Amino acid sequence: MVNFRLDGKIALVTGASYGIGMGMALALADAGAKIVFNDINAELVEKGLAEYKAQGVDAHGYVCDVTDEAGVNAMFKQIRTDVGIVDILINNAGIIKRIPMLEMTADDFRKVVDIHLSGSFLMAKAALPGMLEKGHGKIINICSMMSELGRETVSGYAAAKGGLKMLTKNICSEFGHANIQCNGIGPGYIATPQTAPLREKDADGNPHPFDKFILSKTPAGRWGVPEDLAGPAVFLAGDASNFVNGHILYVDGGILAYIGKQP
Ligand code: NAP
Ligand code: GCO
């Protein structure tokens, strides 16, 4: 019998006050996991806690910047006391800066890389000792189309997400022997606040040119929604995927398979 249940498991999802992180966390809760999340500031965490409660999920929320090593370690210590040892870590927190490369400052580039890549490293490093102690663990890194493809204006983001793909493979290589699986999920274009500027209509109500571009590049013919990541997250978080390791599961409505709509 295939086991997609997560009863008794503790799942920590970073940056999960809304959007894709919350969509995945709600799915893990539905499968039986206890939900812990963090976000960068108290206001977001409070908002997130209220939304989880409204959805019937008794979540634990922490304020923590994933790039702050001391803060990350202190959060893991606190979670161990408050909830227990984390079985499932989803590295979801992130930002994007859409700036042409020649105008992008080194500081902006470093910031994007730091949050997605160093942040995921620090979170995984803090989670792994508990996973080794328990004899199992699941780490899921939220990658991107930009783990495979480039585009104008997102040099920092693409560098970070490409790096995150390789961090995923490296964690798999280093800890697979200890029954720890590290995989990635590569969402396609998902309707969240992060992509809202790419979907804004003009004053006459016409769709944004990028909106039309994405629809023409997506065989599914629509933007994704956070719920599209629910099934893949539950699969990669549970026993059903115990021999899947170092894999990036793209959830993109077919973008990576498609050359684009013919003229
Ligand atoms: P998002 O705005 O990227 O949500 C991420 C969350 O992380 C926000 O709550 C954000 O807070 C928080 N965060 C930012 N910096 C942080 C830090 N240093 N420490 C802790 N938390 C931090 O929205 P999303 O679209 O749901 O994206 C979630 C993840 O999926 C990101 O990694 C994103 O790159 C990735 N992704 C998104 C798409 C898409 O189309 N939406 C596609 C592929 C991959 P603030 O609100 O204050 O920034
Ligand atoms: C952009 C987008 C993307 C998506 C996503 C694609 O400006 O191109 O924000 O980067 O958010 O990561 O998978």
Q: Is 258 labeled as catalytic in the residue annotation? A: no
- For residue 91, give the H/E element and its range: strand 88-91
Q: Looking at 102-206, which runs of residues are DSSP E strands? A: 137-142, 180-187
For the chain, 263 residues long, give each residue's pLDDT as a single digit of tens.
899 999 999 999 999 999 999 999 999 999 999 999 999 999 999 999 999 999 999 999 999 999 999 999 999 999 999 999 999 999 999 999 999 999 999 999 999 999 999 999 999 999 999 999 999 999 999 999 999 999 999 999 999 999 999 999 999 999 999 999 999 999 999 999 999 999 999 999 999 999 999 999 999 999 999 999 999 999 999 999 999 999 999 999 999 999 998 98
Cα 32 to ligand 2 centre (Å): 30
Report d(CA 249, CA 161) in Å as an integer: 14
Q: How far is the CA of 147 from the centre of ligand 1 (A)?
A: 15
What's the pTM?
0.98
Per-residue b or e along 159-169, where b marks 16 or more CB atoms closer than 10 Å to that residue's CB? bbbbbbbebbb
Q: Which residue has the tokens 């997506």?
A: 218
- The Cα 139–Cα 107 span in angstroms is 28
* Closest residue by CA, ligand 2 atom 10: 146
Contact 250 CB / ligand 2 (< 6 Å): no
Other beta carbons within 10 Å of 70:
8
Spatial distance between the Cα atoms of 191 and 109, rounded to a whole number of angstroms: 24
Tokens 């590290």 found at: 182
Phi, psi of 5 (to 5 degrees): -85, 155
Cβ of residue 210 lying under 6 Å from some atom of ligand 2: no
Q: Whose CA is nearest to atom 47 of ligand 1?
A: 40
